[in-house]
Structure 1
Amino acid sequence: MNALFSRLRLSLVLALCTFAWAMPTHAALVEGRDYVKLAAPRPQETQGKIEVIEFFSWGCPHCDHLHPLLTQWAAKLPANVTLIRVPISLGRPQWGQLVRTYYSLQATGDLARLDTALFDAIHRQKQQLYNQANITAWVVQQGVDEAKFTAAYNSFNVSTRSQHAEQLSREYQVDGIPAIYVAGRYQALGNDFNTMLANTTQLIEMAGK
């Protein structure tokens, strides 16, 4: 009797293990709830890689909340995926100054170290970094060369890149930020930012098939 019970118990355990192995690691995404498929797919600019684009602004409080989560998530991306962050203004002149600031700091090589600091300055220190004078004074306090930053800020290259960012947001029909797009085909959705990033991960898998 004990031997029979042991065999039945072993069979049950094996069946449960087989069932668990066969179960998917995550539920399938639902279009309209977890993502939106773009009516007109956008061409990718990076050959051989899946592009993930985040439209954002340092002035946006929601982008501020997403930023630390996105940073952690992006650190685990596979080699065939590239994250492209695109600052936009959504028609707000003050945020337009931040678009220029982003590409200016990129040009001077100071973007990586001041990215999070700018979110902190605007949303926790309540600094009004919405005009060139205030922005320049702040970046100089952070150790940025004033002459190099000013030259970059007023350069044709930064103007062109800023205009391209705004044009790209119009092509994607971005009406709110943060907004995340995958492979020029999908926009990730979610009730919270953790869910949005989890859905983005699955969209990357979909795009790679």
Structure 2
Amino acid sequence: MKKSLFILFALLGLSLPAAAYDEGFEYKKVTPSQPTTSESKIEVVELFWYGCPHCYDFEPSLSKWTENKPDNVEFIRIPAVFRQNWMPHARAYYTAEALGVLDKTHKAFFDAVHKEKQPLQTEKAIGDFFVKQGVKRDEFKRVWNSFVVQARLKRAVSMTKRYGITGVPAMVVNGKYRTGGPAANINSPAASKQEQHENVLKVVDWLVSREAAAKAGK
């Protein structure tokens, strides 16, 4: 596979990323592959949970990556829902998205859970958080219980299963490949937390380049 990929990049006049990774080790196939939101761009999805300390640790590296991501990448976050008690945090994410305040609340919600140790599990507690972020309570209540948020929650539950992930944070590239900390660091058992995060994003970058080459070769 690596040899054929190298030939494809050479024919297209592109540079193969320095590291090449193996299917089944640093990444796995999503079977069956899932539809993406854009035909013209490479979709990169992060699945996360606000209550996950690993997701909290990963967020600064991921945020930096999103600021410098290639123009051909469409980045999407999906709050994973493995259990019922993950649902309030997923609903909070989609409520913020529907209200247009996600840029303001995303990091703040992570900090509230992990730094301030707030048990943001009930509508009341999460509503209080949103009010502190400048959202009117009646607007919060209207969106929290809206059809739009409910539909997005339903999709999040479905995609958590369909991507075949077993933990978070997890990254899915173009609906075809998934990776995460344990997989991306299978050959780096002594890596620091920061290095582990960087390794995940290196695998993502490599998969994005691979998909871009495949699109160019069509």
Q: Same fold (TM over 0.5)?
A: yes
Which residue is equivalent to 1:176? 167
Which residue is equivalent to 2:58? 66
Which residue is equivalent to 1:166? 157
Unmatched segments (≥5 aa) in structure 1: 1-22
How far 1:173 moved relative to its partner? Answer: 1.6
Q: Which secondary structure state, in structure 2, belongs to the residue aligned with residue 161 of structure 1?
A: helix
Instruction: Give the ranges of 4+ consecutive aligned residues of structure 1 lying more than 2 Å apart after TM superposition.
Output: none
How far 1:125 moved relative to its partner? Answer: 0.4
Structure-to-structure mapping, 1:42-121, within 5 angstroms = 42-91=34-83, 93-121=84-112
TM-score, normalising length from structure 2?
0.81
**Do the aligned partners of residues 32 and 63 (structure 1) sit closer, same or farther apart at CA in structure 2, a change above 3 Å counting?**
same
Which residue is equivalent to 1:198? 202
Contact 2:17 2:209 in 1 (8 A): no
The letter for the 2-side match of 1:197 is: L
Once residues 55 and 155 of structure 2 are traced to their aligned partners in structure 1, the CA distance between those partners, rounded to angstroms, is 20
How far 1:77 moved relative to its partner? Answer: 1.1
Once residues 72 and 16 of structure 2 are traced to their aligned partners in structure 1, the CA distance between those partners, rounded to angstroms, is 23
**Do the aligned partners of residues 81 and 25 (structure 1) sit closer, same or farther apart at CA in structure 2, a change above 3 Å counting?**
closer
- Choose 1 or 2 for highest CA Rg: 1
Contact 1:94 1:131 in 2 (8 A): no
Once residues 124 and 196 of structure 1 are traced to their aligned partners in structure 2, the CA distance between those partners, rounded to angstroms, is 24
Once residues 135 and 64 of structure 1 are traced to their aligned partners in structure 2, the CA distance between those partners, rounded to angstroms, is 18
Unmatched segments (≥5 aa) in structure 2: 1-14, 186-195, 214-218
Structure 1 residues 28-72: Cα deviation after superposition (integer angstroms, max 9, x where no partner): 112222211223211212121110011111111111011110000
Once residues 57 and 81 of structure 1 are traced to their aligned partners in structure 2, the CA distance between those partners, rounded to angstroms, is 22
Contact 2:172 2:178 in 1 (8 A): yes
How far 1:25 moved relative to its partner? Answer: 5.3
**Do the aligned partners of residues 157 and 25 (structure 1) sit closer, same or farther apart at CA in structure 2, a change above 3 Å counting?**
closer
The answer on 1:128 being equivalent to 2:119 is yes
**Do the aligned partners of residues 25 and 52 (structure 1) sit closer, same or farther apart at CA in structure 2, a change above 3 Å counting?**
closer
Q: Which secondary structure state, in structure 2, belongs to the residue aligned with residue 208 of structure 1?
A: helix
Which residue is equivalent to 1:145? 136
**Do the aligned partners of residues 24 and 208 (structure 1) sit closer, same or farther apart at CA in structure 2, a change above 3 Å counting?**
closer
TM-score, normalising length from structure 1?
0.85
